[in-house]
Structure 1
Amino acid sequence: MARFNTRTARAQPTSRVTSTGRVLRTYEGGRGRERDARSELFLLAVSNFVSQQTFYETGTDRDDRFAALVRELAVTDPSWTAGLLGWLRGEGNLRTASLVGAAEYVKARLDACAVDGPSNRQVVDCVLRRPDEPGELLAYWTATYGRAVPKPVKRGVADAVRRLYTGKALLKYDTASKGYRFGDILNLVHAAPDPGKPWQGDLFQYALDRRHNPDAAVPPVSIPVLGAHRELMALPVAERRAVVTAPGGAERLAAAGITWEALAGWLQGPMDKAAWEAVIPSMGQMALVRNLRNFDEAGVSDEVAAQVAARLGDPAEVKRSRQFPFRYLAAHQHAPSLRWSYPLEQALGHSLANVPALPGRTLVLVDRSGSMFYSRLSDRSELNRADAAAIFGTALALRAADADLVEFGTTSKRLRFRKGESVLKVLGRFGDLGGTDTTSAIRSHYRGQDRVLIVTDEQYGYNGHGDPTGQVPAHIPVYTWNLAGYRVGHGPSGTGNRHTFGGLSDAAFRMVPLLEAARDADWPWAEV
């Protein structure tokens, strides 16, 4: 009789966030599992807004742990680390962590005299995606390691400068508030103009003139936006508001690179209805989302509001903006007008495009313990990890064929919802449930479901019944979605139907159907 080679035999899939087998304690005293260095760095990187305090770690401690892991792996596993940093700035959409990581990667490899793997120059270049980022990276390097900038950093920055510097970029980002102006960066890295951009030499010279001799700097005719901007800046203040209200005013502002941030300063007065309506057509989706309250307070017309709403609900614009789903929840909480509710609901739905419609029965547990509420996700956000967990857990439950949605802390409670109900409406039913007793929550609500998915920071407290994942039969998949990136996990991971992933976007959900199709799940920047 065949014992193994049967019709129902299936390969056991593996995932990349892997436990070492060493048992440690969580911050709350539960028996946890140590993760290997790559897994620890990945989970920390995808949840780390640099310098942000969390419940169990100070911002400095997290930053130090992040930098130490990058330095270690830059030497021992450079190809993997370079792949992580490039993905982190690209699809991961985490800007500061990737810039810090690139600087630490270069420093570690220079100190170790390492020559294998991706070059330092390539890694620096690949994380610089926005025109202000060359200055950000140089500022971090000099503040951390002094004014002597090594050649690989200079060359990587020079490569990025050729890609990123344009006339509009100069107007938007080359401001007096910056420690490194465009001219300073050009002086430091000696970037040569891109041969395919015949106007770039003029741009570089103008950036140098603006920095060192601003009164004599003359915009080059080869870059029309700079001349148009100078023309508007030369207008008497008393005549400027007439530009805003004149036919074609919006087009003229856009052609001169006047952003919404700069418009109030140019007008030297308030952003009234006419000012907002003139600049809204040239605003990106992130700027629109951040200013909905301002639009209402200024009284923008219903016609213009409808245009904004159409853009918020456009799936292509949502995808292009690369905003995290919780940005739309924040906008919904702070925009007073009901006219934004449905567009923001649409935008939130589009931003959760990767959430799968799971078959069978699914138990979704959302961590609402005190540690998830403690700190904001970033300096620019009023939301916390509890909010993010609720968004992702709710979206998964609403799309699943048959889901039990449970919030847990010291106690736990099943939340009722209807198919097709608004994510934003369901979010209003979540509460704050104190401590973190994940084990008891699973014991109370696991009733033979086909899979369990836990959205948490993994810092459960001691429980005599053991770790949370051990409460589920071994043949049932348990997926832990980590939103904090602490060192110790609440259970094993990587094999045996126990898998951990992380991050603050919905991209991690791709792993679930992949693993359930008995396919191995690789790192997100590698082919699977």
Structure 2
Amino acid sequence: MKFNHNTKAANTTINHQGAKAFLFTPEMELYTAVATTLLTDACYEKADARLKRMQDLMQKVEPQFVAKLAVYARNKMYLRTAPVVMATELAKLHQGDRLVSKTIAGIVQRPDEIMELLACYQAFNKRTATKKLNRLSKQVQKGLAVAFNRFDEYQFAKYNRSTTVKLKDALFLVHPKPKDDAQQALFNKIVADTLATPYTWETELSALGQQSYESEAVKKAAIKAKWEELIDSRKLGYMALLRNLRNIMQAEVSGEHMQKVTDYLSNENAVKQSKQLPFRFLSAYTEVKQLQSFYTGAVMNALEAAVQISIQNMEGLGNDTRVVIACDTSGSMMQAVSPKSVVQLYDIGLMLGMLLQLKCRQVQTGMFGDTWKIIPLPTNNVLANVETLRRRNGEVGYSTNGYLVLKDLIDRKQVADKVMLFTDMQLWDSNTGNASTVNTLSHQWKQYKQIAPDAKLYVFDLAGRGQAPISPKENDVYVIAGWSDKVFSVLDAIENGADTLSEIRSIEL
């Protein structure tokens, strides 16, 4: 029997296309799995392959890393369900550890996340008795008590819904200590179910929908008036506005109100405080451009301005830095990011690529599939550029011959400082059926380093399947994962001598 195995072989696998791929460390795999999933609010109620893999990985890494990744995912990547899952799993694996309460206090940013975490805790611990949440972990209790002290009556009332675990249930379970008499009075209202009904767009439109109207014209006028009232009230949050642009424009609100909408969409403070994932702007842009409204162009301009504001603080790559951006257009990239979403991995790759292009002075952008094609684009139109590339989908085919990006640079003897691939990592060679060892990203990178010794290769993982087409241990090769513009913060950290996980490890709990 052989005990001293070849570790290099043990670190390789075969991807979904049958090509050689390289495995990540458990920490790196957990990071890529978390950064590239929205999960769903109720994912833990059913078998979910991504969830199961995350749970398995959390048992293989240090609890401190799990805690920091959960806080990073919530506060930097703006994810909601994955941090809840990680904090709950941490509580299950490390009961009595203060790390659990610190993590929970660090991830709960909205009142509904208190109930969501308790529902997750109930499911993960397989509680089936009448009192499913009896004997709540003390550290979970402490973390949620800190969270309870953060919110006011409006916030509690907004999320006081008829869910599996209700707000009142959570209060009884957690027993948070009120910080003053006013908060005690607020907790009493939660117990008595006397929280003031919040003024939100959901409650207002719901009340409107329950009324009867003498004609369609009267109903239309009422809906228009209600949207105008909501816009004037400033109670329509940024995310709600993005999601309701179609409804507002179809309601034909006044020009004055459309001006307020576009002003808010492109307001610097509003954009920064909204913490939107970049593809949310793209989703809104795609919806709006289909509308036959006099305001379509103005709203599209406002969304473009908003995207550019959202990455104002993103570091540029310097006037002298030559950058190649390559977007994967393969068939596997046409996968939706969640069951209910129309956004695909393909859209996210294009979006991140165009955000990066905006910050580059010297840049070549293109798409790869069966072939690789450079597509010159202006650098100042993020959303419009994404739409342009979307329309040209199919020009390069639907395979994943990513090695052609490097082969083209070698053939043209063109030196770039950074080559960046946005992909789901399922690269293969459709020309030889993976029989060639030459037609691989790894081989071509070694060849390219001979003519561009200082070049760096960044592979942006958009799918998080736990493997890469090239080893991150190779010379100047880096893997970064995620759908947020915060992936570029990781890039900055690497440029300053850190590694991919340094920003996560630097989180203070």
| TM-score between the two structures when normalised by the length of structure 2 | 0.83
Deviations, residues 23-75 of structure 1 (Å, cap 9, x unaligned): 211121221111100000001111111159xxxxx9811110011112332xx
CA positional deviation for 1:383: 0.8
- Residue 200 of structure 2 corresponds to 259
Is residue 165 of structure 2 the alignment partner of residue 180 of structure 1? Answer: yes
Aligned counterpart for 1:279 among listed residues 223, 230, 252: 230
Q: Within 5 A, what are the aligned runs for 1:17-36?
A: 22-36=11-25
Contact 1:51 1:59 in 2 (8 A): no
User: SS of the counterpart of 2:325?
Assistant: strand
CA positional deviation for 1:514: 4.4
Aligned counterpart for 2:400 among listed residues 436, 444, 455: 436
Residues 135 and 527 of structure 1: CA distance in aligned 2, closer, same or farther (over 3 Å): closer
Q: Within 5 A, what are the aligned runs for 1:391-430?
A: 391-430=351-390
Residues in 1 aligned to 2:230 and 2:26: alpha-carbon distance in whole angstroms: 47
- Residue 67 of structure 1 corresponds to 55
Output the amino acid matched with 1:179: T
Contact 2:461 2:481 in 1 (8 A): yes
Q: Within 5 A, what are the aligned runs for 1:109-124?
A: 109-110=94-95, 115=97, 118-124=98-104
- Residue 82 of structure 1 corresponds to 67
Residues 379 and 263 of structure 1: CA distance in aligned 2, closer, same or farther (over 3 Å): farther
Is residue 157 of structure 2 the alignment partner of residue 192 of structure 1? Answer: no
Deviations, residues 150-186 of structure 1 (Å, cap 9, x unaligned): 222222222211223x21023211123x122211111
Is residue 459 of structure 2 the alignment partner of residue 499 of structure 1? Answer: no
User: SS of the counterpart of 1:524?
Assistant: helix
- Residue 3 of structure 2 corresponds to none
Contact 2:307 2:382 in 1 (8 A): no
- Residue 373 of structure 1 corresponds to 334
Contact 1:356 1:509 in 2 (8 A): no
Residues 120 and 516 of structure 1: CA distance in aligned 2, closer, same or farther (over 3 Å): closer
Bigger relative contact order (CA 8 A; separation at least 6): 1
CA positional deviation for 1:518: 4.7
Output the amino acid matched with 1:121: S
Contact 2:458 2:478 in 1 (8 A): yes
Residues 78 and 495 of structure 1: CA distance in aligned 2, closer, same or farther (over 3 Å): farther
- Residue 153 of structure 2 corresponds to 167
CA positional deviation for 1:467: 3.4
- Residue 333 of structure 1 corresponds to 286
Residues 136 and 385 of structure 1: CA distance in aligned 2, closer, same or farther (over 3 Å): same
Output the amino acid matched with 1:402: Q
CA positional deviation for 1:119: 2.3
Contact 1:458 1:482 in 2 (8 A): yes
Residues in 2 aligned to 1:389 and 1:357: alpha-carbon distance in whole angstroms: 19
CA positional deviation for 1:397: 2.6
Residues in 1 aligned to 2:416 and 2:201: alpha-carbon distance in whole angstroms: 51
Residues in 2 aligned to 1:421 and 1:89: alpha-carbon distance in whole angstroms: 29
Aligned counterpart for 1:201 among listed residues 184, 209, 225: 184
CA positional deviation for 1:312: 0.9
- Residue 483 of structure 1 corresponds to 462
User: SS of the counterpart of 1:364?
Assistant: strand
Is residue 153 of structure 2 the alignment partner of residue 137 of structure 1? Answer: no
CA positional deviation for 1:470: 3.4
CA positional deviation for 1:451: 1.7
How large is the RMSD of aligned CA atoms in angstroms?
Answer: 2.4
Structure 1 unmatched ranges of 5 or more: 1-18, 53-57, 211-216, 220-225, 230-256
Output the amino acid matched with 1:188: L
Contact 1:329 1:424 in 2 (8 A): no
Tell me the percent identity. Answer: 26
Report the count of equivalent residues.
450
User: SS of the counterpart of 1:453?
Assistant: strand
| TM-score between the two structures when normalised by the length of structure 1 | 0.80
Residues 185 and 520 of structure 1: CA distance in aligned 2, closer, same or farther (over 3 Å): closer
User: After alignment, is 325-334 or 270-279 more displaced?
Assistant: 270-279
Q: Within 5 A, what are the aligned runs for 1:313-352?
A: 313-335=266-288, 336=291, 337-352=296-311
Residues in 2 aligned to 1:379 and 1:200: alpha-carbon distance in whole angstroms: 40
Contact 1:124 1:157 in 2 (8 A): yes
User: After alignment, is 489-498 or 513-522 more displaced?
Assistant: 513-522
Residues in 1 aligned to 2:154 and 2:190: alpha-carbon distance in whole angstroms: 12
Contact 2:272 2:310 in 1 (8 A): yes
